Structure 1
Amino acid sequence: MALTDSNSNVLKLAPDAQAPTYRTAPHNIEAEQSLLGAILVNNDAFYRVSDFLEPKHFFEPLHQTIYETAGSLIRMGKIATPVTLKTFLPAETDIGGMTIGQYLARLAAEATTIINAQDYGRTVYDLSLRRDLIGIGEDMVNVAFDAPVDFAPRAQIEDAERRLYELAESGRYDGGFQRFSQALTIAVDMAAKAFQRDGKLSGIATGLRDLDTKMGGLQPSDLIVLAGRPGMGKTALATNIAFNIARAHRAEVQPDGTMKSVNGGIVGFFSCEMSAEQLATRIIAERTGIPSSSIRRGGISESDFDKIRDYSIELQALPFYVDETGGLSISQLTARARRLKRQKGLDLIVIDYIQLLQGSGKRGNDNRVQEVTEITTNLKALAKELNVPVVALSQLSRQVENRDDKRPQLSDLRESGSIEQDADVVMFVYREEYYLANKEPRPGTPEHEKWQTEMGLAHGKAEVIIGKQRHGPTGTVELHFEASVTRFGDLSQDGHLPDRTY
C-alpha cells in the first residue's frame, strides 16, 4: 500500500527532499503503512506481530509513535482506531499537507487484509536488522580509524563479535507456542541417539561409569558447576572428563555436508589458572602413569621418555582446544567460545575457574557477588545458545574447614546465591584422605593405629557429591583417585565383581 496526496504523488515521509544525495538506510515506508493500517482496522493484527516487533523497528519516527500508542491502547483492553488514536498524537503534525487525523484515516482506508500483517511485520523487522548491521559496521570503521594507542585491535574484534551475536539472538521471531507433538518428536529423537551412543546415555559420556549412571552423561545446554576446596582434585577431574570426551570423539557427515558429533565431543578448555603446558603435562602423566613431578624435573628413564613421545603423538590428534588467557572477561570468553564453535565445532566447554573470570565492567562499583551473578547468568545463556554443556569449576569458602565433617554443601559455594541458582548441576569433589594425611597422630600411640586404619580405608578414594541436579537424583558417587598422576577412574567394588564360578 502506498498513500498518495491529492495530486496522486506517493507520500514518502522520512528523507528530506532538500537533503544532499546519499545512500539512505534500508527501509520500506509502504510496508510500515500497510501494517499500521491493518492494525487500525482490526486490532487483532497487533497480536500477530507484537511478540517480535517493537516501535524502534520502524524507520519513520511518526510510525514508531503510532505503533507504540496503538499498542498501549490495545494492551489496556481499549480499541485503537483513527478516532481514539489521534487524541494521543500531536495535532500540529503535518504529513504532506494532511493533519494527523487525516493521515490516520487514510492509513485505515487503504489498509490491506489482516492476513498479511505478519509478513509486513517481518519485512519491517528485517529491514531494522539491516540498519543495525550498518550501524555496527560504521562503528567498527570509526573506532578503527580513531582508536587510542592502548586499544588493542583484538578487543575491538571481540566487541564487534559480541554485538553481532546479540543482534543475531535478538533477530529471531521463531519463538512462541509449539505443538506438543513437536516436543514429543524431539524427545523420541533424543532417546534414539542415546541408544546409539556409548553407554546408552542421553548426554555426553564422561568416561566415568558410576558418574554417568547417576547423571545420564553431560546434558546439552546445562551449566554444571564442579566445586571443591584446594587440593581436592577438581581441576584433575575436569581434565580427566574433558580428555575422555575428546578421546571418544567420532563425527559423521550430515546430509547438508556439515560434520556432527555422534559420540564424545570437541572440547574447549579455558584454563585461567594453569598454563596450556601444565595442562598437557597433567594429561601425559595421567595417560602414561609417570608422575608429572618426575616429568617436570626430568627424572625419567629412556623408556619413560619413549612412552611419553608415543602418547604425545596420539594426543596431538585430539579435538581438544586450550585457551590459557588469564583474567578473561565473560564477554571475551563467550566471544571465543562462539568463534571455536563456528570454526572447529564445539561439544563441551570447561572453565577453570569461575572466580578467575571478570564481569563486563559496565556496572562500575558493583560488588563481587553481583559480578559473579552476571558471570553465571551469562555462562548459562552461553550453554543454551551453543547447546553444549558448560562445566565451570568453583572454589568453596573456608567455612568447610571449620566443621568436623568436611564434606561440602551448597551453602559452601562462594557467592552461592547466583551459582546455586543458575547451575543445572552442582557437584563437589571430596577426598577424606587429604584431610586425614594432614592430621597424623604421634607414631606408636593407639590414635596412630586408628589413623592408619582410617587411612587404609580412605586411600585412593574420592567422592563426587551431587548436591543439585535438575533432571536427576542427588547423591554420592565414589571414584578411584591416583594422586601421583592426578587420575580419576571407576572404583572396583566387591558388589560389582562378577560371580565366581568353580
Structure 2
Amino acid sequence: MPNQPALPLAQPGQQPAPRSAPHNLEAEQALLGAILFDNETMNRITSLLKEQHFYDPVHGRIFATCADMIASGQLADGLTLKEKFARDGGIKEIGGALYLMKLLENAAPLSTHAQSYAELIYDLALRRALIRVGGEITSLAENPPDDKDARDIIEEAEKTLFTLAEAGTANRGFQDFKTALTASINVATAAKNRGSDVSGIASGFRDLDHLLGGLHGSDLMILAGRPSMGKTALALNIAMNVARQKQKAVEAGEAEHYGGTVGFFSLEMSGEQLATRILSDFAEIESHKIRQGKITTDEYTRLADSAMMLQTLPLHVDETGGISIAHLHNRARRLKRSPSGLDFIVVDYLQLVTASGKVDGRVQEVSQITQGLKALAKDLNVPVLALSQLSRQVESRDDKRPQLSDLRESGSIEQDADIVMFVYREEYYLSRAEPEQNTEDWIKWRAKLDGVANRAELIIGKNRHGPIETVHLHFKGQFTRFSSLAQG
C-alpha cells in the first residue's frame, strides 16, 4: 500500500466515533480525486468496488455519479459535478462544490496508486460486513428464534460467511449476450482443440460422453433406478473415472485432462464400504471375499498394491447420514475453496437428503432438495449427479424399463434436472423368473437370458442439451463394474 499523502480537505460528512468500524476516509478521498483528475482511472480499478463500499455515504454518491457519467461518455470533474450536487445537502455540509475541487488537489501523483486505494476500500467494506455478520450471529445465539436450534444457526452462519467470502467473484445480475456467446464459443473451442466431442469432464464411458459431450458445470443430473440395478455402482464408477483421470494427469505433470476432484456424499454406505467397492473393482477381487478375508496371499498383495496406487486419488467422501441440503451446500463450498478444489459432486441418494427447516409434506421437501442441488451446481459451476429411487409401479408393468413418471415425487425432480438417466438391467428380472426346467419355455428363457447376460441399459429419459437415447453398457456383477461395451 503506498504512503497516503495528507490531503488539505474539509472534514468528511461522517465523523468517526471513538470506536468506529474499519474505514479509511483519506483513501476514499484520494481515489475520488484520482478519478476526477483522470476519468480513465475508473477503468483501471477493480470492478468489484461499488457505491455501498464507501464508509462515507457522500463519497459513495460521488463515486456512483462519476461512474454513471463516465459510462455514458461524459466528463466527470469538479465543474461538471457541481450542477449534479448543487442541491445535495450532504455535499453542502462538507463544503459544497469547493469540496469537489479540493479532491483534485494532489490528485496527479495519486492516480498511479488508484487500484491500491480501491482494493483497500473494498477490503475495509468486507471487514465491516464481517463485523456486522458477527453481531447478527451473536444476537441469534443469545436469543434464538423458537424454530431454530444451535445447528440451524451454525448452518445459517456458514451460508452467510460463504456468501460474504464469494462477494463480487461472480456476476449474478444481467450479462450482455456477448459474454454468454463468448462462453459458448469457448466450450466449442475446447472440444475442437481436444480432438474429441467431449468439452466437459469425461465420465469414462465412451458412448455416454459422446451423447452428452461430457459432464458440464451447472448441470444437475439424476441417475435413477430400482434397487439392485446398480445405481451406486455406476455413480461410483463415474466418480472413480473422473478422479483417476486427474490423478494420472497430476502424476504425469500434465496440465490438461478430462478429470477432476470429486466430492461423494454417501448417505447410505460408509466410506469404508465405498473404498472396498473401489478396491474390488481396481484389484479385480470380489468385494465379499475382501470383507470376509477369503483372499489368497497373491490377492492380498494385489489389494495392498492397489491401495498404495489409490492413496492420492482426488476423491473425498462424506458419509453423514440424513444430511440436510444446507449442510451439504456448506460442505461442498468448503471443499471447493480448499486447495484440492471441487469439480464434480455425487449425492447417493436424493431421498436421504433432508430439507432445511420445516416444510409441508414430502413433495415440498423433495422440491426444496432438488432446487438446492440445482442451485449448488450453478453456484459452484460443477456438475452434480444425484441418485434417486423409483416408485414400485415399475414392477407392475410387463416392460420394466423405467420412465420419467416412475420417479418418486417426480414433479420437482423432472423439472429441476437437466439430465435424467435410468439404469436398467433386464438380466436381473429374467434371472428371477425362471420357468420349470427342461421345458420349451425354459429353453426360450435361457436363450433370452444368455442374450442379456452382463448387459445394462442407461436410458436417457431427459436431456436438456441433446437427444434422448439409450446407452448400452457392460456389467460385471462380481466387481460391481460398469464399462463401455467395447471394453467389456
Query: Structure 1 residue 225: deviation in Å?
Result: 2.0
- After superposition, what is the alpha-carbon deviation per residue over 1:218-256, rounded to whole angstroms, capped at 9, x for unaligned? 234433221212211010001112222323333469xxx
Pair 1:337 & 2:332 matched = yes
Distance 1:12 1:319 in 2: 53
Q: Distance in 1 between matches of 2:347 and 2:225?
A: 14
| 1:217 correspondence with 2:214 | yes
Instruction: Name the residue aligned to 1:410.
Output: 404
Match of 1:232 in 2: 229
- Could you list the per-position Cα deviations for residues 80-105 of structure 1 after superposition, in whole angstroms to 9, with x for gaps in the alignment? x9999999x9xxx787xx589x96x8
* Counterpart position of 2:349: 353
Show the counterpart of 2:146: none
Indicate if the aligned counterparts of 1:229 and 1:395 stay in contact, CA closer than 8 A.
Answer: yes
In the superposition, the TM-score normalised over structure 1's length comes to 0.71
Equivalence map 1:22-421=2 (5 Å): 22-26=19-23, 28=25, 56-57=52-53, 59-60=55-56, 127=121, 130-137=124-131, 139-140=133-134, 151=150, 156=154, 162-172=159-169, 176=176, 177-178=178-179, 184=185, 187-192=188-193, 194-195=194-195, 201-248=198-245, 249-251=247-249, 260=255, 262-341=257-336, 342-361=338-357, 367-384=364-381, 388-421=382-415
Shift of 1:398: 2.9
Contact map agreement 1:204 1:219 (CA 8 A) in 2: yes
* Pair 346,128 (structure 1): closer, same or farther in 2 beyond 3 Å: closer
Structure 2 CA distance for aligned equivalents of residues 441 and 214 of structure 1: 38
TM-superposed deviation, 1:478? 0.8
Q: Is the 1:358–1:371 contact (alpha carbons within 8 Å) kept by the matching residues of 2?
A: no
Q: Please tell me the root mean square deviation across aligned C-alpha atoms, in Å.
A: 5.3
Q: Which residue of 2 aligns with 1:116?
A: none
Displaced runs of 4+ in structure 1, greater than 6 A? Answer: 32-35, 51-55, 62-69, 81-87, 105-112, 119-126, 144-148
* Paired position in structure 2 for 1:423: 417
8 Å CA contact retained: 1:355, 1:394: yes
C-alpha separation in 2, matches of 1:365 and 1:55: 41
Q: Distance in 2 between matches of 1:478 and 1:265?
A: 25
Q: Deviations over 1:291-318 (max 9, x none)?
A: 2223223333444333323322332232
CA distance in 2, matches of 1:326, 1:224: 21
Aligned equivalents of 2:374, 2:459: Cα separation in 1:
23
Q: CA deviation at 1:111?
A: 9.9
Give the aligned residue type for 2:289.
S
**2:427 is the counterpart of 1:433:** yes
Aligned-pair identity in percent equals 43
TM-score (norm 2): 0.72
* Native 8 Å contact 2:23 2:125 kept in 1: yes
Quick check: 2:373–2:384 contact (8 Å CA) kept in 1? Answer: no
Give the superposition deviation at 1:57. 4.5
Give, in whole Å, the separation in 2 of the partners of 1:165 and 1:26: 22
SS of 2:428's partner is helix
Alpha-carbon contact 1:32-1:124 (below 8 Å) kept:
no
Q: How far did 1:261 drift?
A: 5.2
Residues 359, 374 of structure 1: 8 Å contact kept? no
CA contact (8 A) 1:218 1:389 kept: yes
Greater displacement, 164-173 / 276-285: 164-173
CA contact (8 A) 2:346 2:386 kept: yes
